[in-house]
């Protein structure tokens, strides 16, 4: 997550970010609080959904980072239709965040040095155990040799492997629901003439 100053500045420009940070803090004792569902548009326009892990916000922004395997189905889905939605429910505080926006899939073939740097930061921020999964066989294919799956080794100082992909979701709309207070707010992003981002909040019926 971004540093304190950047986080505070971001929270001022994005009111939903302050609500999300409060929910993260209130549910920090629950390991599953960093897990959420990510929905994309699958083959034939059908929905595709899965549980992923929150890997923090990109520095100096509200963009949400997710690590994934470049060989997984979601990469093709995102490249075909770059829109997705997060559904994040916090069980202790009874809060739900539905965060929709465009998703950027960053693998080793990216031509943008800044994106490649963010990908490398995300790689080294992950545990070695987490990085090992990207050295295994392609996700979703039949397992032929169990021993081949187990016999995987990684140099902790090695740069990201080809299968490692960083997903960055750029929020455009946030639907917040608090079941304890029976309050629902919808935050919508707009861009000002000077290029800066503005968020409008609207209270709606739960």
What was the pLDDT predicted at 196?
83
Segment (H or E) for 17: helix 15-26
Take residue 175 and report the two structure tokens written for it.
């639907």
Q: Are 47 and 41 in contact (CB under 8 A)?
A: yes
**Residues 4-204, CATH architecture:** Roll (2.30)
Give residue 31's pLDDT. 94
Residue 132 and residue 142: Cα distance in Å, rounded?
A: 19
* pLDDT tens readout for residues 129-169: 999 999 988 888 887 766 555 667 788 889 999 999 999 99
Q: What gap in Å lies between CA 154 and CA 178, rounded to an integer?
A: 43
Residue 25 phi, psi (nearest 5): -65, -45
CA 27 vs. chain centroid, Å, equals 18
Dihedral pair phi/psi, residue 58, rounded to 5° = -65, 145
pLDDT of residue 195: 78
Q: Burial-class residue 61 by CB neighbours within 10 Å (0-12, 13-18, 19+).
A: middle
And the tokens for 78?
């995102």
8 Å CB contact between 119 and 107: yes
Task: Give the Cα separation of 119 and 112 in Å (integer).
Answer: 11
Question: What residue ranges do the domains of the chain occupy?
Answer: 4-204
CA distance 82 to 115: 17
Neighbouring CB atoms inside 10 A of 140's CB total 9
pLDDT of residue 193: 82
**Residue-wise pLDDT tens for the chain (206 aa)?**
444 444 444 444 589 999 999 999 999 999 999 999 999 999 899 999 999 999 999 998 999 999 999 999 999 999 999 999 999 999 999 999 999 999 999 999 999 999 999 999 999 999 999 999 999 888 888 877 665 556 677 888 899 999 999 999 999 999 999 999 999 999 999 988 887 889 999 999 99
Residues belonging to the chain: 206
């Amino acid at each position: 997550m971004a540093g304190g100053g950047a986080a505070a500045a971001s929270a001022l420009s994005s009111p939903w970010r302050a609500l999300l940070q409060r929910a993260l803090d209130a549910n920090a004792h629950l390991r599953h609080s960093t897990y959420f569902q990510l929905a994309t548009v699958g083959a034939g326009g059908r929905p595709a959904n899965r549980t992923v892990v929150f890997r923090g916000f990109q520095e100096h922004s509200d963009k949400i980072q997710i690590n994934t395997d470049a060989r997984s189905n979601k990469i093709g889905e995102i490249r075909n239709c770059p829109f997705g939605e997060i559904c994040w429910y916090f069980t202790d505080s009874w809060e739900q965040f539905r965060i929709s926006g465009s998703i950027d899939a960053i693998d080793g073939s990216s031509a943008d040095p800044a994106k490649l740097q963010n990908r490398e930061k995300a790689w080294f921020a992950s545990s070695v155990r987490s990085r090992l999964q990207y050295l295994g066989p392609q996700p979703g294919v039949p397992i032929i040799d169990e021993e081949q799956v187990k016999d995987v080794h990684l140099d902790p100082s090695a740069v990201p492997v080809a299968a490692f992909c960083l997903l960055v979701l750029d929020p455009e709309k946030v639907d917040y629901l608090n079941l304890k207070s029976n309050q629902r707010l919808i935050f919508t992003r707009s861009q000002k003439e000077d290029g800066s981002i503005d968020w409008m909040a609207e209270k709606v019926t739960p």
